[in-house]
Structure formats: C-alpha cells, structure tokens
Amino acid sequence: MGFKIGGNRDEIVIPTEATCTKECKAGNDIYPNVWSKCWNLEFLNKYNIRFVEHRYYEDVLFIYKGVMKSEKYLIADFPVHHYISGRKNSMTTTLNLKNIYDTIDNIRDMLEIKKKEDTVEINMRIQREIDMCKKRLEDIYHSI
C-alpha cells in the first residue's frame, strides 16, 4: 500500500510491481511496517502469523512471514496511510539497549527460519537487520 511519511521528514512511498516482489518486500524492504501491508485474518490464521509480544520492531518478522506465504497481491498506488516519523518518546527514536536486544532477538529468530528455508529473502533480511543493529549501536555510542 502507498503511504505518506510526515513529521521529521516528508516522503510519499508508492509501490510498483517492481518494488512488490517477494525479494523486495520480504528481504530488502526499508519499510517493513504492518501499516504498509494488508492481509485478511483468515490468511494470518491459516499460517499462524502473529506478532512477537513485548518486542520492538515486531513488524519485521510479521512482514517477512506474511510476504513469504503470500501467493498474490494487489497494489494501492496511492497513499492509504499517513505515518508521523520522529515523534518524541517513540520507541524508534528513543535510543536504548532494548532496541539492540530486540533487534538481536529478531536476527536470532531469522537464523532459525534460515535453517529451514535458506532463501535469498531471509539472507537479505538478516543482513539488513545486522546493519540496523550496527546503526543503532553507533547511534547510542554517538549520543553519549
């Protein structure tokens, strides 16, 4: 689905067929957020796709699993959601070690998935999360 990002940046993201491949959405999506995708409850129940509770960045695994199980998709080539980025006290803008620990937990869970299905997408997603973990560590370091 298309979406608009406001707040500390102004961006409109409109999906195309090229950006909606499994490789792009499961492996390399820079916006692995549930508000940029949509599945019906029957689909989620069929594949037992659930959020990991009490974890930051819980969207990452949810989106990966949903995209990999999806057999077809529709594109909303217009913004259907407006996300406000950079909100004060938001979990993604607050620097703390929980961000790091939860990212590492996501990576650990993805490594378990990789043992069962060693796909291009899982390898891309793991690398992206490792890079995000490094960035978050650097952000904490530079904030001291």
- pLDDT, one tens digit per residue, over 31-55 is 888 888 889 999 999 999 999 999 9
- Residue 93 is predicted with a pLDDT of 66
Model confidence at 91, pLDDT cuts 50, 70, 90, reads: low
- What is the C-alpha to C-alpha distance for residues 101 and 107, in angstroms, rounded to an integer? 10
Please report, for residues 42, 59, 76, 124, 126, the alpha-carbon distance to residue 93 in angstroms, rounded to integers and kept in the order given: 34, 16, 28, 24, 22
> What is the pTM assigned to this prediction?
0.86
Model pLDDT for residues 55-81, shown as the tens digit of each residue: 999 999 999 999 999 998 888 888 887
Range name among 5-9, 11-15, 92-96, 114-118 with the lowest pLDDT average: 92-96
Does the pLDDT of residue 18 top 90, yes or no?
A: no
Task: Kindly report each contact of residues 69-78 with a partner whose C-beta sits within 8 Å and lies 24 or more positions away, as own/partner.
Answer: 69/43, 70/22, 70/39, 70/43, 73/20, 75/1, 75/15, 75/16, 75/17, 75/20, 76/1, 76/2, 76/15, 77/2, 77/14, 77/15, 77/16, 78/2, 78/14
Range name among 3-17, 19-33, 81-95, 120-134 with the lowest pLDDT average: 81-95
Does the pLDDT of residue 9 top 90, yes or no?
A: no
Are 113 and 123 within 8 A, CB to CB? no
Q: What amino acid occupies position 27?
A: G
